[in-house]
Amino acid sequence: MQVSVETGAGLERRLTVALEPERIESAVENRLRDFSRSARLPGFRPGKVPTRLLRQRYGEQIRSEVVGELMQSTFGEALVQEGLNPVAQPTFDLDMNPQAGRYAYTATFEVLPEFELGSLAGKQVKRPVVELLDADLEALIERLREQRKTFNEVDRPAQDGDRLKISFTGTLAGEQESFPGGVGTNFQLILGSGQMIPGFEAGLVGATAGEERVLDLSFPDSYHAEHLKGKAASFVVTVHAVTEPKLPEIDADFAKAFGVEDGDLERFREDVRANMSRELKQRVEARVRSQVMDLLLEANPIEIPKALITQEIQSLKEQMRQNLRGNTQLELPDNLFTDNARRRVALGLVLAQVVKANQIKADPARVREAVEDMASTYENPQEVVDFYYSNKDHLASVEALALEGQVVDWVLTQVAVEDQPQNFQELMGPTA
C-alpha cells in the first residue's frame, strides 16, 4: 500500500492510503471460489454454481466487503508507519473505481499537539499560611448552633433576626393587578436576611401578629427580572405570626446531633477541629493548585483538538444532568460549557507533557495517604480503604489526583513561592 499524509487546518491530518488492486482482486477471487462450494442458485446443484454467475450477482458486494476489511486493517498499519495518533474516530472517504484499478481511501482526523514545555522562570505562586485558632473553632461552633436554631412564637413587635409568616400582594405603580411573582401566601421571612428587595424587611420591623402594612418601595436597577428593574411598587403585607430564634445549648445532645454518640463535648470539639484542619489543608492546596494550573496554561499556549473539546463538553453536560438528579431530558447549549471544556482539555495535555518530560509516576505512599484521608470521614474507614484497593479502576481516580499533586510539587520547585499569612476566615470565607 502507498500512504501519504496531508496537513489540514490546525491539528487536522488527512491520511490517504492507496490499496494494491492485485491484492483486492485476488481476495475477491478467493472468496468467490470459497463461496462457490456452498452457493445455491435456482437450476444448479449446491456447490455447482459457475463462478462467472456468482461474480455477476455477488461480485460487487464481496469486493466492498474486502475493501472495507482492508481499510480497517491497513489504517492501523498506516498510522504506525506515519507515527500518527488520532484523538477521535476519523471520518473515511472511499475512492474506488474497479474498472480503473483504483482503490484508495482518505481518513481525516485530528492529532495531539506536539510541544515543548514553556519556561516557568520568573513566575510566582502565593501560598496561604494559616494558623487554626481556638477563636476559629468557637466561631464555627456558633455557626453550627445557627444552623440548628429553632423559632418560637412571641407576642411582641418584630425585630431583626425574627422569622415572620406573612402574606403579601404587590402591584406596580399605576396598575391595579398584581405583577407576576408579586403574590405570596404564608411566606416565611427572616428579617435582616436580605431575601427581599431593599426596604421590604426594614418596613416590617416593629410589626405585630395580625397587623397589615403597606410598603411603598422600588425595585433596584440591577434587579434580575427585566420588567421590574427600577419600577416603583406597593406591597400590602399581612403579618400572621412573629417568631424569635432560639439557639441550642452546647451540651451532650448538641454533640450527639453531630455524630458524637456519647455526647462528650471535648471529643466533639476535637472532631470539629479535625474537620476544620482537613478543610483548611484542602483549601490551601486548592488555592496553590489553581495558581499552578494558571501558570502552566500561561506558559504553554497550545492548540487544542476540537474533537477533544467536543467530547469534554458532552462529559460536562452529562455531569450537569447527574447533578440535577439525573434529568436526562435536559438539553443545555454547548456554549455554556465551552470555556471550561477548553481549559480542562488544555490542562490535561499540558499535565501529561509534564508527567512525560519528568517521568513522574504516582507515589504509592501518596496514594495511600489520600485514600486514608478520604476514608477518615466515614464511620468505618477500613471499609473505604478496602473498597479503593479492591479494584484498580476504583484506585485510578485517586492515583490521578496524587499524580496531579506531584505535578504541582514539581512546578513549585520551578517558581518562586511566597508564603502569604492569612486568617482562617479570610481563606475559607464567611460560610466556612
Query: In the numeric block, which cell numbers belong to residue 379?
Result: 464511620
**Mean pLDDT over each residue of the chain, to the nearest integer:** 92
The residues near 266 (Cβ < 8 Å, ≥ 6 apart) are none
Q: Evaluate if residue 420 carries a pLDDT over 70.
A: yes
pLDDT score of 316 more than 60 = yes
pLDDT confidence of residue 39:
79
Q: What is the pLDDT of residues 68-111, one digit of tens each?
A: 999 999 999 999 999 999 999 999 999 988 888 899 999 999 99
Contacts (Cβ under 8 Å, ≥6 apart) of 419: 127, 129
For residue 271, what is its C-alpha cell?
Answer: 472532631
Count of beta carbons in the 10 Å neighbourhood of residue 3: 16
Q: Which CATH class is domain 150-246?
A: alpha beta
* Distance from C-alpha of 246 to C-alpha of 99, rounded to nearest angstrom: 92
2-110 in CATH: which number? 3.30.70.1050
- 328: pLDDT confidence band, cut at 50, 70 and 90? low
More confident residue, 58 or 122: 122
- pLDDT score of 76: 93
DSSP 95-138: EEEGGGTEEEEEEEEEB----PPPP-TT-EEEEEEE---HHHHH
Distance separating alpha carbons of residues 123 and 299, to the nearest angstrom? 10
pLDDT at site 244: 97
Domain coordinates in residue numbering, the chain: 2-110, 124-135+261-428, 150-246
Q: Per-residue pLDDT averaged across 194-223, rounded?
A: 96
| 301 pLDDT tier (thresholds 50, 70, 90) | very high
Quick one: which of 228, 235, 183, 239 has its CA closest to 206?
239
Q: Any bridge partners for residue 110, and if so which? A: 12
- pTM to 2 decimals? 0.74
pLDDT at residue 94 in the model: 93
pLDDT, position 430: 59
Spatial strand order in the sheet of 91-97:
2-7, 12-18, 102-110, 91-97
Averaged pLDDT, 233-244: 97
pLDDT value of position 326: 59
**pLDDT beyond 70 at 327:** no
Over residues 44-75, the pLDDT tens digits come to: 877 777 778 888 888 888 888 899 999 999 99
Residues 6+ apart with CB under 8 A from 292: 125, 407, 408, 411, 412
Q: Please give the CATH superfamily to which domain 124-135+261-428 belongs.
A: Trigger factor, C-terminal domain (1.10.3120.10)
Residue 219: pLDDT band (50, 70, 90) is very high
